[in-house]
A and B are shown apart, each in its own frame.
Chain A
Amino acid sequence: MPSHTKSTARLGDRVFSNLSKGSGIALLAIMAAIAVFLAIRAVVAIRANEGNFLTTFAWDANADPPYFGIAVLLFGTVVSSVIAMVLAVPVAVGIALFISHYAPRRLAAGIGYVVDLLAAVPSIIYGLWGALYLVPQLTGLYEWLDQFFGWTGVFAYDGTPARSLMTVGILLAIMILPIITSVTREVFLQTPKANQEAALALGATRWEVVRMTVLPFGRSGVISASMLGLGRALGETMAVATVLSPSFLINASLLESGGGTFAQNIASQFKEAGSMGRDALIASGLVLFLLTLLVNGAARLIIARRKEYSGANA
Chain B
Amino acid sequence: MAKRIDVQGLTAYYGSHKAIEGITLQVEPRSVTAFIGPSGCGKSTFLRTLNRMHEVTPGGRVEGRVLLDEEDLYGPGVDPVSVRRTVGMVFQRPNPFPTMSIYDNVAAGLKLNGIKYRKSELDDIVEKNLRGANLWNEVKDRLNKPGSGLSGGQQQRLCIARATAVEPEVLLMDEPCSALDPISTLAIEDLIDKMKAQFTIVIVTHNMQQAARVSDRTAFFNLSAIGEPGRLIEVDGTEKIFSNPSVQATEDYISGRFG
Interface residues of A, Cβ cutoff 8 Å to B: 105, 192, 194-195, 197-205, 208, 212-213, 216-217, 219, 308-311, 313-314
Contacts and interface: CB of A to CB of B under 8 A. Distances in A.
B100 A309 contact: yes
A203 B109 contact: yes
Given A202-B85, A202-B109, A204-B112, A216 B56 contact: no
14 contacts: A197-B53, A197-B95, A198-B91, A198-B95, A198-B97, A199-B97, A199-B108, A200-B53, A202-B109, A203-B109, A203-B112, A204-B81, A205-B113, A217-B98
A155 B91 CA distance: 55
B177 interface: no
B82 interface: yes
Contact of B112 (A105, A202, A216): A202
B129 to A, nearest CB: 13
Contacts of B113: 203, 205, 208
A217 B146 CA distance: 13
Interface stretch (B36-44, B159-167, B180-188, B224-232): B159-167
B56 A198 contact: no
Given A205-B81, A310-B98, A200 B149 contact: no
B7 to A, nearest CB: 19
A105 B88 CA distance: 28
Given A105-B58, A197-B56, A314-B148, A202 B163 contact: yes
B99 A194 contact: no
Contacts, number: 81
Contact of B89 (A201, A204, A205, A212): A201
Interface of B: 51, 53, 56, 58, 81-82, 84-85, 88-89, 91, 93, 95-101, 108-109, 112-113, 146, 148-149, 159, 162-163, 166
Nearest to B92: A194
Contacts of B58: 105
Contact of B95 (A192, A212, A309): A192
A309 B148 CA distance: 8
Nearest to A198: B95
A195 B108 contact: no
Given A105-B58, A198-B159, A203-B84, A314 B89 contact: no
Contacts of B97: 195, 198-199, 212-213, 216
